[in-house]
Amino acid sequence: MAVFKKLAAGKNKGKDKVPILPDPEPVKQLDGRIGLDSYRDFFTLKNYWKTITRKPKESGGFLLSR
């Protein structure tokens, strides 16, 4: 059994179609009250907060040791 099928030579003669691409999604806009410049900054801050909530005792110790 062949993994890749060969295309028939006469099927697509002269019909080189360009695939239609979907419209790009708009860039997410942040609320001005947050105080961050871009959505990427918000995403990074959200991920940092996830790591703090995984180990609250250790992160609290680091926070109070400074």
Decide: 38 and 30 in contact? Cβ < 8 Å: yes
Decide: 34 and 42 in contact? Cβ < 8 Å: yes
Residue with tokens 């907060």: 49
Q: Which of 48, 45, 47 is nearest to 59 (CA)?
A: 48
- Rounded to two decimals, the pTM is 0.39
pLDDT tens across 4-60, in order?
Answer: 666 555 555 556 677 788 888 887 777 788 787 888 888 888 888 888 888 888 888
